[in-house]
Structure 1
Amino acid sequence: MRPRILSVFLLLAALLAPVAPAFAAWPDKPIRLIIPSAAGGAPDVLMRALSAQLSQQLGVPFVIENRPGASYTIGTMELVRSPADGYTLAYANVVSLATNRSLLPNVPYDVDKDLTLISNALRVVNLMAVNNSVPVRSVPELIAYARKNPGKLAFASDGNGTTSHLGVELFKSMTGTFMLHVPYKGATAAVTDLIGGGVQLFMANTPVLGPHAQAGRVRALGISSPQRSPAYPDIPAIAEAVPGFEVVAWGGLVGPANLPREIVQRLNSEIRTALATPAVQERFKALGAEAAPSTPEEFRELARSETAKWAKVVKSSGAKLD
C-alpha cells in the first residue's frame, strides 16, 4: 500500500503546487510594435527612439512594423486581431483613440472594449508652415490672404482625423477662412508636396516640419501651443494672433483587449523608466516632443476627454473626410 499511498501523495502535491503563470517569463522573444502610420513621420521617429531603450531594458528586440492607412484603423485592427500575450503592441494616439470616433462613420474597433491602454508616452505640438512662394510671413498675413483668396490655398494633412487635418479645420473656423484639404497617407509625402508647391500649407508635428523650416525649405508661421516653444523660440504661437487656439498631439502604447494586468504593469513601469533616461529625453527634446508618461487609467481618461473635445471641433467646423 505504501507505494500507492506515496503515488497518491505525489499526485496531490503536483495538483496543489502553484503553477507559474505564462507571463512569468515574459518577455523571452522579440516584441512586435505596430505603428499605424508611415515611416518617417513623428510617431515613427519617436517610437523608434523609445523602443530602442525599451529593448535594452527588457533584453529583447522590438520589431517595428509600419501599417499606415485609413486613419490609423488598418494598423489598429492588426493589433486587435493579435493574441493578448504581450508580444504585439501598437502606437495609439489622438487619431486612433479620439478623433476617429467622431469623424469616421464606422470605426471597426471599440476603444473601450478592444484595446488595453498601457501608457501615454509623448506630447508634441504642431508647426504651421507654408511653401516659400506663398506671399505671407506671419499668421495675421495668412488670415488676411486666405480671406481675400478663399479656396486658393490648399493645405496638406498626414491623414483624415489627424491633428494636421483637424488643427487647420479649427484654425479655419476660428478665423473665418476657407482652404482646401488635401489628405496624404503620411507626413513624408505631404512635406515633399509642400516643398514642391503641390500644396501651400501644412501644419504638422514639429519633428516633421521643424528641420525643414530651420533649413529654409519651408516658411514657418506659428506653433500650435498656447505659448512659444522653447525648442523654437523665434516662432510665434498661433494663439498670439488667434486667442484660444491650441492643438497638442499625444500618443502612447496599447495592447489587445485582455492583456494580463501583470504585463501591463511591467510595461507601464518600463516605459516610465525609458522616458526618464537621458538618451530618450535628449532625442525627444531635439525633435520638439515632450515625454509624458501616464498610468493606464490616466491614459484612458485622456482618450475620453479628447474624444469630447474633438467631437465639438468636428461639429463646429464641419470637418469631413476628404
Structure 2
Amino acid sequence: MKNHSLLACATAILALGATTAHAKDDAASWPTRPVRLVVPFPAGGSTDVVARLIAERLGQKLGQQFVVDNRPGAAGNIGTDQVAKASPDGYTLTLTTSGPLANNKYLYKSMPYDPAKDLTPIVLVGEIPLVIVSTDKTPAKNLKEFIALAKAAPGKYSIGNPGNGTIGHLAYELLRHNTKTDFLGVPYKGDTPAMTDLLGGSIQAIVAPITAFIPQIQSGKMNGLAVTSKKRFPGTPEVPTAVEQGFDVEASVWFAVAGPAGMPRPIVDKLNREINLVLNSPEGRAKLEQFGAVVGGGSPEQLDSLMKIESAKWKRIIEQANIRLD
C-alpha cells in the first residue's frame, strides 16, 4: 500500500513537471496563430492609429498577424470587457485607455468587469497631458493669475470641458477641489464647441487633453495657463505645469496594452519587451508625438501601480462631485 502511494505521488510530480515544461514551451513558441488586439474605440482615433502601428510591428517581429479589432461603446467598457472575459492564452489583447482601466468603474453603477481583478497589465504605451487654456479676453497669463481672478469674483469665471465624465471634466473637479476655488463648470460635446465659445468670450478657460490645443497655443490664439503633467510638455515648453505654480493638479489620459487575468508571465514579458522597442523607435515616438502623447514604456509592474494610483485618485474626485454616466 505504501509503495502504491509513493508511486502515485511520483507520477503526480512527473505529470506536474511535464505540464510546467509544456506551458513553458507554449510560451516560448507563442504566437503560433493570429493575435486579436481589441481597441474599444472607433477606427481613426489616436488609440486606434497607435494600436495599428504596434500591431504591424509586432506582426513583423513575432511572425504572426496582429489583427486590430475595433469594439467601441460605453466609454471603452464593451471592448475591454471582451478581453477581460477571453482566454488568458495571449491571443486576445487590448490597447485601451485610462477610462476602462481606472476611471470608469466609479463612473458607472454596474461594470461588467473589474480592471484590477480581470486584466493583466502589460505595458504603458503613452500619456497625453491636459492643458488649461484661456485667451487674451481673460487678463491672466498663467494659472496662478487665473485662480486669483476667480477667487476675487466667485462664480464669475467659467471653465469648459469636453463632456460629462471625460478626463477634462474630472480634471476640472480636481482643480476646483484642490484650489478651493468657486468656478463655473461648463460641459460640452467635445473640444471644438468649447474652443468656439472660448474664442467668442462665452467662457473664460478650457481644461482638456492638450492634443487639439497645441496649434492654438503655438500660434498665440490661446494662452496656455498650465499643463497638468509632472513635467512641461515638449510641444509647448513655455507653458508651466500646475504643480510648479503651486497647485497639486495632475491629470492625463493614458493608454496601455493589457490582456485577460492569468496570462503566462513569459508571454507578458515577451510582449512588454517588444512593445517597449516599438515605443522607443523613432517611428514609434513620432507617431505618439503626432497625437500630443509622451512615450510611456516600462514594466508590467509600473503599469499595475499606475492603474491603482489613478483609480484611487479619481474614485475620490468622482464620489465628491457625484459624477455618473448611467
Q: Residue 119 of structure 1 corresponds to which residue in structure 2?
A: 123
**Could you say what secondary structure the match of 2:124 adopts?**
strand
Match of 1:305 among 299, 304, 309: 309
Shift of 1:280: 1.2
**Separation of aligned partners in 1, 2:191 and 2:222:** 9
**Could you say what secondary structure the match of 2:233 adopts?**
coil
Q: Which aligned pairs between 1:1-322 and structure 2 lie closer than 5 A?
A: 25-39=29-43, 41-130=45-134, 135-138=138-141, 139-140=143-144, 142-143=146-147, 146=150, 148=153, 150=155, 153=158, 155-157=160-162, 160=165, 162-175=166-179, 176-182=181-187, 184=189, 190-197=190-197, 200=203, 201-215=205-219, 219-285=223-289, 287-315=291-319, 317-321=320-324
Letter in 2 for 1:135: T
With over 3 angstroms needed to count, the CA separation of the structure-2 counterparts of 1:65 and 1:157, relative to structure 1, is: farther
Provide Cα deviations, 1:1-28, integer angstroms capped at 9, x if missing partner: xxxxxxxxxxxxxxx9986855555334
**Separation of aligned partners in 2, 1:210 and 1:39:** 23
Q: Residue 11 of structure 1 corresponds to which residue in structure 2?
A: none
**Separation of aligned partners in 1, 2:110 and 2:246:** 33
Shift of 1:216: 5.7
Q: Is the 8 A contact 2:162 2:191 kept in 1?
A: no
What is the number of equivalent residue pairs in this alignment?
Answer: 299
With over 3 angstroms needed to count, the CA separation of the structure-2 counterparts of 1:227 and 1:257, relative to structure 1, is: closer
Shift of 1:144: 5.2
**Could you say what secondary structure the match of 2:324 adopts?**
coil
With over 3 angstroms needed to count, the CA separation of the structure-2 counterparts of 1:112 and 1:228, relative to structure 1, is: closer
Shift of 1:284: 3.0
**Could you say what secondary structure the match of 2:248 adopts?**
coil
Q: Any unmatched runs of 5+ in structure 2?
A: 1-17
Shift of 1:223: 0.9
TM-score, normalised via structure 2 length: 0.75
**Separation of aligned partners in 1, 2:258 and 2:34:** 17
Q: Is the 8 A contact 1:225 1:248 kept in 2?
A: yes
With over 3 angstroms needed to count, the CA separation of the structure-2 counterparts of 1:248 and 1:257, relative to structure 1, is: same
Letter in 2 for 1:155: G
Shift of 1:136: 5.0
RMSD: 3.4
With over 3 angstroms needed to count, the CA separation of the structure-2 counterparts of 1:44 and 1:219, relative to structure 1, is: farther
Shift of 1:253: 0.5
Letter in 2 for 1:95: G
Provide Cα deviations, 1:25-64, integer angstroms capped at 9, x if missing partner: 5334443322233455543444344334333323444433
Q: Any unmatched runs of 5+ in structure 1?
A: 1-15, 185-189
Provide Cα deviations, 1:134-185, integer angstroms capped at 9, x if missing partner: 635533454356553727735223662x43221111111233123335264x
**Separation of aligned partners in 2, 1:52 and 1:159:** 35
Q: Is the 8 A contact 2:159 2:183 kept in 1?
A: no
Letter in 2 for 1:238: A
Q: Is the 8 A contact 1:71 1:159 kept in 2?
A: no
Shift of 1:109: 0.6
Deviates more, 1:170-179 or 1:210-219: 210-219
Shift of 1:319: 4.6
TM-score, normalised via structure 1 length: 0.76
Shift of 1:79: 1.8
Shift of 1:208: 3.9
Letter in 1 for 2:138: P
Deviates more, 1:193-202 or 1:75-84: 193-202
**Could you say what secondary structure the match of 2:57 adopts?**
helix
Aligned-residue identity in percent: 31
With over 3 angstroms needed to count, the CA separation of the structure-2 counterparts of 1:177 and 1:72, relative to structure 1, is: farther
Shift of 1:248: 3.7
